[in-house]
Amino acid sequence: MKSKLLAVAMCGVASSAAIAGPIEYSLNSSAAAVQQYAPLFQKELDRSRSFVDQMMEAGVVVPIPKDPGGGYTHEQHKQNFKIIYQGGQLYKLTGEQKYADYVRDILLAYADLYPTLGEHPARKNSQSSGRIFWQVLNDAMWMVDSIQGYEAIRDSLSEADRKNIDDNVFRKAAAFLSTGSAVTFNKIHNHATWATAGVGMTGYVLGDKELVDVALLGLDKSGKTGFLRQSELLFSPDGYYTEGPYYQRFALKPFIVFAGAIEKNDPSRKIFEHRNGILLKALRTTIQLTYDGYFFPFNDAIRDKSLKTDELYHGVAVAYSKTRDPGLLSIAQWQGRTVLTDDGMMVANDLAAGKASPFSFQSLLLSDGPEGKQGAVAIMRKGDGMTGQALVAKNSSQGMGHGHFDKLSWQYYDNGYEIVSDYGAARFLNIEAKQGGRYLPENESWAKQSIAHNSLVVDEKSHFNGDRRAADKLAPEQLYFTNEMGSQISTAKMTGAYPGVEFTRTLALLDVEGLGQPLVADIMRVDAEGDYAYDLPLHYNGHIMRVGFDVKSNVAGRPVLGESNGYQHIWVDGTGKPTSADNGFVTWIKDDRFYTARWVPQVGSETILAESGANDPDFNLRREQMLVQRVTSGKDIVFASILEAHGRYDGAAERTTASDSQVKTIQHVRHGGADLLLIETLAGAKSVLAISYDQDKNKKHTAAIDGQTISWTGFAAHLRLGGE
Amino acid sequence: MKSKLLAVAMCGVASSAAIAGPIEYSLNSSAAAVQQYAPLFQKELDRSRSFVDQMMEAGVVVPIPKDPGGGYTHEQHKQNFKIIYQGGQLYKLTGEQKYADYVRDILLAYADLYPTLGEHPARKNSQSSGRIFWQVLNDAMWMVDSIQGYEAIRDSLSEADRKNIDDNVFRKAAAFLSTGSAVTFNKIHNHATWATAGVGMTGYVLGDKELVDVALLGLDKSGKTGFLRQSELLFSPDGYYTEGPYYQRFALKPFIVFAGAIEKNDPSRKIFEHRNGILLKALRTTIQLTYDGYFFPFNDAIRDKSLKTDELYHGVAVAYSKTRDPGLLSIAQWQGRTVLTDDGMMVANDLAAGKASPFSFQSLLLSDGPEGKQGAVAIMRKGDGMTGQALVAKNSSQGMGHGHFDKLSWQYYDNGYEIVSDYGAARFLNIEAKQGGRYLPENESWAKQSIAHNSLVVDEKSHFNGDRRAADKLAPEQLYFTNEMGSQISTAKMTGAYPGVEFTRTLALLDVEGLGQPLVADIMRVDAEGDYAYDLPLHYNGHIMRVGFDVKSNVAGRPVLGESNGYQHIWVDGTGKPTSADNGFVTWIKDDRFYTARWVPQVGSETILAESGANDPDFNLRREQMLVQRVTSGKDIVFASILEAHGRYDGAAERTTASDSQVKTIQHVRHGGADLLLIETLAGAKSVLAISYDQDKNKKHTAAIDGQTISWTGFAAHLRLGGE
């Protein structure tokens, strides 16, 4: 059976004359002449050639498995599946026999080795053990790439070689990954996606329907597990992956790649329409979860992970092929890379033909949970996705083992920078010196803890007392969201993170008359059954310019803020007690813009200016500053704060404007069940963010503030007040 | 007399048809039609128009002087001279009467105001007082721009207006700046350059030879002071300005602009050939004192100052006009700006015509002092000026009031970053909240102190005990310099910074076999008459990955390193005692590259890992890390260290290579009077940096090291050793 896997590569024949206009590439499956492709594709081809040619010089290196991640045999087998994949694509594109021979020889070596393999020497346990790698996940990743490379050369092999590799490599590996790793295979989990993808794609290549069926429907073929069920349970209806953007990006590849194979082999399945087009939705959502090309780093995440990553080169190519969205071409352009498939060639061609248009980064509410009932991530944007504003309200569920204890936390991006930040993970990926590149102890002791986030912390304990299984059970409730221009508002409530405490947070991105940049408003309402101590941290990026209130400074050895739950990692620079929102502020500068955080101080509260980095003997933590509003005792508290971007510092022209806040003051008023935040600028403009918390969108509300009566309809509104 | 000031602006008339090829711009002094200029010039024109048109709406605003720097009247008068200058250029270019009228009206307002002015209310003292501004320097800056703007419109005025402005503004101001500010005018100092430039350029415009003569030759016209003498004494023969790059950049403008006026009005003077072409040399040297476009921030300097600055827009335009060096066009391209003069138009035209070529950033020895006998700055480069390497040895003199106590300090740039850094100044220019934008107390207590630099510190005191007048008297002696490819070496000696202590430092940028990046070698030899305590700090940029030796960490409240001379600003993270160069190292990561500092520990020495920021209640300091080699007691000491860049961290591809040092060890041997540094890589390559300190370039030296005999000729050499 002539299989049609992921992509039948097009061999384009183009004129070798000087290029005057756009190039037309024609389909021609056998071309040995020198090809010329659109630049992005050509670059990829050259890169692969260079890589595979170099590897060819080293010959066939298929060592007996021995080492864990990062070690020699692990890295070599990783290298091998890259070689097999790229060598296969190169053979399809160029027809050069040396590539087919090299891939064949490597697979023949695996055919000798694989049947002899048992559990991996460096395994963690039997259940998760791979054969080639210490964990079965990596065996699955090996499979996904290798089967694609194999498919490209299979028809060119001798009968004997084909049978040898079919039987001794892929059938055996498929058996191991499916029935031989039943626990993993039947999970609803990213590892299972890789396993089902590898097995299913092998099924298509070998013409083995059984393998395809178990991959799609689970070992018992009931559909309760398997690839299709995973696509229904691992993404919310908005295509959001519960572990967060970093892992969403990682989980995407097997979904996208296997779906491409299903589409080619069994188009009647209409896989890309499955569950309302969930797979393409997931790809788009992955892109939406970025700023300036970098993923929002919440939950466990490496902060330097951007759209420039293999999973998204594949993702963009497949999605473009299905949708022809010219915005995806802009993403490809930013990435500067594509994949050596016909989808990648299409991207490269259309990009070269000038068809790209800017990707539409939007304000979105992304629900979490398979039915979208486990909280949400709200993204409120203004301007473009690289230099504009993005306010991210993280109202999602725990996100399993890689989740952090950060209910209702937030981030703010502006002017190309992360201004209010999420720490990400304490991990230095692939760096031997940092415990072999694994998650560090400080990931548990700092990065996951509530105080390390812009979250409410009660009695200096983390949410759910740091118990992730308890945390997995309860998600926030998104109460309201609007992306109305100039008044974008998100409200969510969390119950159960602390016994007896419920907190409701509204984050809003508001245009305020006379202010050059939008303003962030943050109203955190706490309803408690008893008296508790509260901390509300703000982790910011910049150099302090002005503090509105007197600070008692610890200028020599700074004390540490606490003993556990992350508090042991905080040095206290100073404390103060602002008396009103007039002096309750801190101004900092980041590059050429100023920021002022301002809040209404609680009676009896204090403000802590602090920095992370204490109790870190191995220098595993970054040292970053924060300010904390602290209420030592209170029952029902409202934290009312704003973040204002203002002014300009022009180092070249040596001119500075508006280096101090343009806001005069803010006021918080509770009126019945409603919260009102009054904002008054130095220029005299007054406005109110009014939140009724009432879900009846037609109900009218009135309230008195600043000597005026205001009225609005529905859950929330941002209203201008009459002038003085 | 029809004056020909700086630039007779060309009024180009270009075809308004679609542009098919390069545009020819013709000289035509009266053109009211819409002009089209080369893009850089057009952009400048549009920018100026936009600015002046906007100012015109505000009308003529010439307030009675009252405020100091940053205050209202100060800023308004600054704005005015910008308006006058740009308005004048716009009139010359466009012929639009509204510009001439506006500039005239502003100057008529000054004609009313100026004669009434006495000493400025916010002056520091009589001697430095301006009339319009709190300090006479600013009055001079006002004059330089305003006279150029005036020149552009003068011929268009009525007889009465001309006489009014001539007499009541410029003659009076010239008298004030010259005889009325004799002390400043007669200085050999940047303030005097501005004053003589203002007065001299006024002389040309008014046809007043007396003013020109005193400007060029000093009030007594002897030539012992005045502009010409300043050009002989303020720059070294290599065009280096003793206060350092930040102030060199500032001092450049009046030199360049007045020289342009002299050239136009009195070409027989051949001002650009004066003193071997010192002015153009100074301009080029200013550019050479950058990395990635940013000035080396040593001495008092604001770190964000780059070539994108008004002084260098002028400088590049004038220098290009004289030299037609296509490298200067690349600089203009990076700047993205030019000036509205015929020189600026030439730059814009030639840039648009594709004539730019990369600017040649070089390895240079820049002598300091009027005769080049007060030390030097050695720049050792490899690769390009934006992403390559630059090793800067700061062996220059004190540099007067803005100098730092940093004899023989160094910096290292690589991969677009400052890896071994110079702090610059503790100052937030023009930011009201930071003491009005002035130099902060921490500039004295931290930024100038020796421990804040990569300098030798003896007995925890700064060089010259922090006495700048003592410091001004003694400069280092540059002993040797070679920019030979692969073995660039600089050696300098300092005597007198500490009584009884002489130190000689060799910094070298070496290509070492098998290493992917060049290596920095640092041999600091101390010859002392008694027993002293030594600290040798290294201020680095990056996140610690690995420390080769055990560290006793201060993980909670960190102690402060000392009490004074900058030590009070240092927190101690930990201390350790490496036992050999095998374990005497620290590895850090900056972006995608790793760096290992390695040294031969002295017997009984310890290493301190520390961070700046202690005793800084106002958050005026940045928190940056350092490591310090500390020898508590010793007489003749040699600190032998290297800095190695290695490996790659690829976050996108998730691959890391060579994250640990590729150097096995280093060894220091003293042989007679010579110092030898052996470097051995993990791969087994061995080489020696051998320094004889003997100035006889033909003399042969031999020494024994590593069981071999080596020989070399002259002061220093880098030799490969035979393999194992």
pLDDT tier at B723, thresholds 50, 70, 90: low
Residue written as tokens 């700090």? B537
For residue A315, give the amino acid letter: G
**pLDDT for position A604:** 86
Beta strands in A421-500 (DSSP E): 457-458, 477-482, 487-498
pLDDT at B518 over 50: yes
Q: What is d(CA B644, CA B664) in angstroms, rounded to the nearest whole number?
A: 11
Measured in degrees and rounded to the nearest 5, phi and psi for residue B37 equal -120, 170
Would you call B417 an interface residue with chain A, using a CB distance cutoff of 8 Å? no
Q: What is d(CA A608, CA B373) in angstroms, rounded to the nearest whole number?
A: 54
Q: Which of B654, B655, B661, B662 to mutate to test the interface with A (most CBs of A within 10 A)?
A: B654
Q: What is d(CA A225, CA A182) in angstroms, rounded to the nearest whole number?
A: 11
Would you call B468 an interface residue with chain A, using a CB distance cutoff of 8 Å? no
pLDDT at B31 over 60: no
Residue A222 and residue A228 in contact, taking contact as beta carbons nearer than 8 Å: no
Contact A430 B655 (CB under 8 A): yes
Residues of chain B in contact with residue A51, where contact means CB-CB under 8 angstroms, are none
Q: Which of B430, B569, B593 to mutate to test the interface with A (most CBs of A within 10 A)?
A: B430
Residues of A taking part in catalysis: 247, 402
Would you call A307 an interface residue with chain B, using a CB distance cutoff of 8 Å? no
A1-177: CATH number? 1.50.10.100
Contact B617 A553 (CB under 8 A): yes
Residues of chain A in contact with residue B652, where contact means CB-CB under 8 angstroms, are 304-306, 308-309
Residues of chain B in contact with residue A308, where contact means CB-CB under 8 angstroms, are 652
Q: What is the pLDDT of residues B57-106, one digit of tens each?
A: 999 999 999 998 878 999 999 999 999 999 999 999 999 999 999 999 99
Q: Strand pairing partners for B538?
A: B627
Nearest by CB: B555 against A306, A433, A617: A617
Nearest by CB: B557 against A433, A558, A655: A558
Helix H or strand E encompassing B174: helix B172-177
When pLDDT is averaged across residues B630-635 and rounded to a whole number, the result is 88
Nearest by CB: B431 against A553, A652, A656: A656
Residue A438 and residue A427 in contact, taking contact as beta carbons nearer than 8 Å: yes
Q: What is the pLDDT of residues A93-118, one digit of tens each?
A: 999 999 999 999 999 999 999 999 99
Residues of chain B in contact with residue A433, where contact means CB-CB under 8 angstroms, are 545-546, 587, 659-660
Contact B555 A654 (CB under 8 A): no
When pLDDT is averaged across residues B579-593 and rounded to a whole number, the result is 97
> How many other β-carbons are positioned within 10 Å of the β-carbon of residue B70?
15
Nearest by CB: A622 against B309, B431, B543: B543
Q: What is d(CA A584, CA A594) in angstroms, rounded to the nearest whole number?
A: 16
pLDDT tier at A652, thresholds 50, 70, 90: confident
Q: Chain B 644-683, CB below 8 Å of chain A: which residues?
A: 649, 651-656, 659-660
Return the domain boundaries, chain B.
1-177, 364-721
Per-state percent for chain B, helix, strand, coil, to nearest 5: 35, 25, 40
- Rounded mean pLDDT of chain B? 93
Joined together, the tokens standing for residue A496 give 């159960």
Residue B454 and residue B420 in contact, taking contact as beta carbons nearer than 8 Å: yes
The complex scores an ipTM of: 0.89
Proportion of chain B above pLDDT 90, given as a percent: 89
pLDDT at B634 over 90: no
Written as one string, the DSSP assignment of B203-232 is HHHHT-HHHHHHHHH-TTSSSSSSHHHHHH
Residues of chain B in contact with residue A652, where contact means CB-CB under 8 angstroms, are 304-306, 308-309
DSSP conformational letter for B461? B
Residue B641 and residue B522 in contact, taking contact as beta carbons nearer than 8 Å: yes
Residues of chain B in contact with residue A564, where contact means CB-CB under 8 angstroms, are none
Beta strands in A384-466 (DSSP E): 389-396, 409-414, 417-420, 457-458
pLDDT at A723 over 80: no
Q: What is the pLDDT of residues A580-610, one digit of tens each?
A: 999 999 999 999 999 999 999 998 899 999 9
Range from A25-29, A338-342, B89-93, B604-608 carrying the lowest mean pLDDT:
A25-29
Q: What is d(CA B642, CA B521) in angstroms, rounded to the nearest whole number?
A: 4
Q: What is d(CA A245, CA A256) in angstroms, rounded to the nearest whole number?
A: 16
Q: List all residues 6 or more positions away from B468 whose beta carbon is below 8 Å from its beta carbon.
A: B398, B400, B401, B403
Q: What is d(CA A396, CA A492) in angstroms, rounded to the nearest whole number?
A: 10
Measured in degrees and rounded to the nearest 5, phi and psi for residue B100 equal -60, -40
Would you call A571 an interface residue with chain B, using a CB distance cutoff of 8 Å? yes
Residues of chain B in contact with residue A557, where contact means CB-CB under 8 angstroms, are 554, 556-560, 571
CATH topology of domain A364-721: Beta-galactosidase; Chain A, domain 5 (2.70.98)
Would you call B238 an interface residue with chain A, using a CB distance cutoff of 8 Å? no
Of A639 and B2, the one with more pLDDT: A639
**pLDDT for position B635:** 79
**pLDDT for position A4:** 39
Number of alpha helices (DSSP H) and beta strands (DSSP E) in chain A: 17, 29
Q: What is d(CA A81, CA A83) in angstroms, rounded to the nearest whole number?
A: 5
Residue B407 and residue B463 in contact, taking contact as beta carbons nearer than 8 Å: yes
Q: What is d(CA A380, CA A489) in angstroms, rounded to the nearest whole number?
A: 8
For residue B636, give the amino acid letter: D
Nearest by CB: A430 against B544, B619, B654: B654
Check B74, B314, B402, B453 and give the catalytic one: B402
Check B240, B241, B247, B320 and give the catalytic one: B247
Contact B617 A655 (CB under 8 A): no
| Pairing mode of beta strands A686-691, A716-720 | antiparallel
* Same fold? B1-177, B364-721: no
Per-state percent for chain A, helix, strand, coil, to nearest 5: 35, 25, 40
**pLDDT for position B34:** 54
pLDDT at B120 over 90: yes
Distance from CA of A326 to the nearest CA of B (A): 24
Distance from CA of A615 to the nearest CA of B (A): 4
Cα A408 vs. chain centroid, distance in angstroms?
A: 17
Minimal-distance CA residue of chain B relative to A569:
B556
Q: What is d(CA A306, CA A303) in angstroms, rounded to the nearest whole number?
A: 8
> How many other β-carbons are positioned within 10 Å of the β-carbon of residue A325?
17
Minimal-distance CA residue of chain A relative to B309:
A652
Measured in degrees and rounded to the nearest 5, phi and psi for residue A544 equal -60, 130
Can B247 be counted among the known catalytic residues? yes
Q: Chain B 58-87, CB below 8 Å of chain A: which residues?
A: none
Residue written as tokens 């305590």? B533
pLDDT tier at B139, thresholds 50, 70, 90: very high
Q: Terminal CA-to-CA distance of chain B, rounded, Å?
A: 81
Can B77 be counted among the known catalytic residues? no
Strands lying side by side in the sheet with B674-681: B663-671, B674-681, B686-691, B716-720
Q: Write down the pTM of the prediction.
A: 0.91
**pLDDT for position B206:** 97
Nearest by CB: A556 against B434, B543, B614: B614
Residue A279: closest CA among A300, A301, A257, A297: A257
**pLDDT for position A36:** 86
Distance from CA of B403 to the nearest CA of A (A): 21
Q: What is d(CA A201, CA A195) in angstroms, rounded to the nearest whole number?
A: 10
**pLDDT for position A653:** 86
Q: What is the pLDDT of residues B405-434, one digit of tens each?
A: 999 999 999 999 999 999 999 999 989 899
Half-sphere exposure of B573 (CA within 13 A, CB side): 27
Half-sphere exposure of B109 (CA within 13 A, CB side): 16
Q: What is the pLDDT of residues A304-323, one digit of tens each?
A: 999 999 999 999 999 999 99
Nearest by CB: A555 against B302, B437, B617: B617
Would you call B563 an interface residue with chain A, using a CB distance cutoff of 8 Å? no
Helix H or strand E encompassing A335: helix A326-335
From residue A465, how far is each of A374, A424, A457 by CA, in Å?
Answer: 20, 20, 11
Contact A656 B437 (CB under 8 A): yes
Residue written as tokens 């360049």? B256
Helix H or strand E encompassing A262: helix A245-265
Q: Chain A 446-465, CB below 8 Å of chain B: which residues?
A: none
Q: Terminal CA-to-CA distance of chain A, rounded, Å?
A: 81
When pLDDT is averaged across residues B358-375 and rounded to a whole number, the result is 97
Contact B649 A574 (CB under 8 A): no
Q: Which of A428, A622, A654 to mutate to test the interface with B (most CBs of B within 10 A)?
A: A654
pLDDT at B623 over 50: yes
Residues of chain A in contact with residue B559, where contact means CB-CB under 8 angstroms, are 556-557
Contact A652 B437 (CB under 8 A): no
Distance from CA of A587 to the nearest CA of B (A): 9
Q: What is d(CA B724, CA B705) in angstroms, rounded to the nearest whole number?
A: 14
Half-sphere exposure of B357 (CA within 13 A, CB side): 5
> How many other β-carbons are positioned within 10 Å of the β-carbon of residue A125?
8
Contact B557 A553 (CB under 8 A): no
**pLDDT for position B722:** 77
Residue B54 and residue B116 in contact, taking contact as beta carbons nearer than 8 Å: no
Q: Chain A 587-626, CB below 8 Å of chain B: which residues?
A: 587, 589, 611, 614-617, 619, 622-623
Q: What is d(CA B678, CA B705) in angstroms, rounded to the nearest whole number?
A: 8
Half-sphere exposure of A265 (CA within 13 A, CB side): 25
